[in-house]
Amino acid sequence: MAAVNIAPVPDEYGQNHPVESPGLIQSKLEELEAALIAIPADQKVAWNLAKRKCPDQLNDDFHLMFLRAEVFKADLAATRITKYWQKRLEICGKEKAFLPFTLDGALKDDEMALLLGFAIVLDKKTSFGRKIVLLDPSKEDRTKYTRNGYLRSLWYTIHVALEDEETQRKGAVFLVSPRGGNPKDFDLGASRQVLRSVQGCLPVRVSAVHVFDPGASFVFIFSLVKYFIGPRMRKRFNVHSGSTSKVLNEVDRFGLAKDNLPRKLGGYADVDPKRFLQCRKASGK
């Protein structure tokens, strides 16, 4: 078993990262393969289906994302992979689960949900090099999608962020902007499933979650969310309230400046779901 050297000094988000090398990656990919084989058959039914139906998707690059998410602990990465395919099968169904996770593949019926813009990857990264995922509950509309459609859209958005290798290595930053939303429309059950996906299925590290100006009506909801996420994730959960200038000063130390924040949050970045999807489709993603 190859030893993993961890950088001794935490970064600006309090995270310590492995020191990667080609030798470490190759060794850990081999350990991961052995760990997957060792998992009991009844716990990897969906993964075995994926091996038969879409073997090209289960390549080294795909597996490396899971190793990075689990800081190169091969046994944990193997468990995450099997849970990933189990959940992907659940939310996509047998007809779409093993298609490429693209707008013309597994997401071919979800354009309406994605156009709402309740989840989108911003164009600019933080000043520390991480992709930013904007979650806007005020744009959710359960009359326009099923819960599984909602989850597929969130999964797709996170997959987009993970196309960036630096974000795979160090994590994504999530911005939550509930301003203008109605708490009665908030789907707590779907949010719990998203949290479970992030914590146990999707190959993503979470650097930070920033909730902007939730208002009194959403405070109770986010207190429930913090209860569900557990102690480790809770440390990365930040709620910012007050004037725009006060909030901007608070988030600046996390690499979130005006040029990489959306206008709704006091920044200069435009958020255009239609343009985002057009660019994705044009590139076959």
Average pLDDT over the chain, rounded to whole?
Answer: 88
Go through 15-54 and write b for each residue having 16 or more CB atoms within 10 A of its CB, e for each that does not: bebbebeeebbebbeebbeebbeeeeeeebebbebbeeeb
The alpha helices in the chain, defined as continuous H runs, are 22-38, 45-53, 60-69, 74-96, 111-116, 147-161, 165-170, 188-200, 215-234, 244-252, 273-282
The residues facing 172 across adjacent strands are 206
SS3 letters for 206-235?
EEEEEEECCHHHHHHHHHHHHHHHHHHHHC
pLDDT score, position 180: 62
- Residue 220: per-residue pLDDT: 56
| pTM metric for this prediction | 0.91
Q: Strand 172-176 relative to strand 206-212: parallel, antiparallel, unpaired?
A: parallel
3-state secondary structure 165-215: HHHHHHCEEEEECCCCCCHHHCCHHHHHHHHHHHHHCCCCCEEEEEEECCH
Per the CB < 8 A criterion, the answer to whether 122 and 271 are in contact is yes
In the structure encoding, which two tokens stand for residue 185, read together?
A: 């429309």
Question: pLDDT (tens digit, 9 = 90+) per residue, 12-57?
Answer: 888 888 999 999 999 999 999 999 999 999 999 999 999 999 999 9
Reduced to 3 states (helix: H, G, I; strand: E, B; else coil), residue 161 is helix
pLDDT tops 80 at residue 181: no
